[in-house]
Amino acid sequence: MTELKNDRFLRALRREPVDRTPIWMMRQAGRYLPEYRETRAAAGSFLDLCKNAELACEVTMQPLRRYPMDAAILFSDILTVPDALGLGLYFETGEGPKFRKTVRSEADLAALNSFNAEDDLGYVMNAVRTIRAELNGMVPLIGFSGSPWTLATYMVEGGSSKDFAQVKGMAYDRPELMHNLLSLLSDAVADYLAAQVRAGAQAVQIFDTWGGSLSAAGYKEFSLKYMQRVIGRLQVQPETHGVPVIVFTKGGGQWLPSIADCGAHCVGIDWTTDIAHARQQVGQHVALQGNMDPAMLFASPARIREEVGAILAGYGHGPGHVFNLGHGITPGVNPDHVTAFVDAVQELSPQYHQVD
């Protein structure tokens, strides 16, 4: 593989010294960019875009041509694993992802396809290999998966949900069935992430988008436990041992000490958590990623710069911070405001990494 020219993102994940705070952005390849909208239209559909390695590579590279990001992230979808398990993923305009089948009984669980990431999601691995070749060592490539709990919410609900009535009902009323589903998913996610690493991903992120919907006890039992299982499996495999893992639970700020003990190298925090408090709680154990409110990108460039400065000051001096939004970028953002955001991090952060 080509030597990495910019490794500050990987160094920050390991809490090693860097010259400035690295930055990337969740959903940095997405609808806020006109070139992305053009490519998606040419692809025909979102899933066709994900399954075409050349087009997935193209949209992964688009933000890197505009902005000096310190990492690229694979362009794909978190629901590839449930789709490969046989639930039939599709997208309704304006309604988000949906599945043709759900998992609400032992029979539904038994009917799921067997899963092998290399065979069943080969198009994702093709995309990873294509992107790594195109990056040519420019910046590291991040692979990702949804967390077992987050995947389960879609599989049980049949799509997005506002109240998670079906999946939480199963968890609390039929915990054995839920644990069996989550066990299957944690093994699948570990297999999937390991395959991405073998294909060329240099770090991985577990998106626990809906972990924050659970109670404190429910989070530990149904979400955190299974992310820890995924990470444990990655740590014992020679090809994935030592590859940095980021865990991001939206709404998980109240459980930071527990999350920091799950084995991940880095904990992503959303904008509702004060980064100074987060560092005080867990910053000696893990790196922190985040955490500007995505809506701040609708403000003026001057206000964006002010907020970047406040977050950098909140984290303070020293390594272990990856700058990011507290969740994915909103589609309607002006791309020029992202320029202001990235420029502010680059210009304001070196003072926090000076060695005395």
Is 232 labeled as ligand-binding? Answer: no
Helix (H) or strand (E) holding 208: strand 203-208
Task: Indicate the DSSP class of residue 352.
Answer: G
Residue 132 CA to residue 282 CA, distance in Å, equals: 32
- Consult the annotation and say whether 265 binds a ligand: no
Q: Which two tokens stand for residue 13?
A: 């994940």
CA dist., res. 153 & res. 167, Å (int): 6
Amino acid at 118: E
Give yes or no for a contact between 244 and 13, defined as CB atoms under 8 angstroms apart.
yes
Residues 6+ apart with CB under 8 A from 138: 5, 6, 64, 72
Active site positions, annotated: 27, 31, 40, 77, 154
Check: CB of residue 250 under 8 Å from CB of residue 291: no
- 36 is an annotated ligand-binding site residue: no
Confirm whether residue 37 is marked as ligand binding: no
> What is the Rg, in whole angstroms, of the alpha carbon atoms belonging to the chain?
19
* 27 annotated ligand binder: yes
How far apart CA 269 and CA 62 sit, in angstroms, is 25
353 is in an annotated binding site: no
Residue 327, annotated ligand binder? yes
- Known binding-site residue numbers: 27-31, 77, 154, 209, 327
Residues at the annotated binding site for substrate?
Answer: 27-31, 77, 154, 209, 327
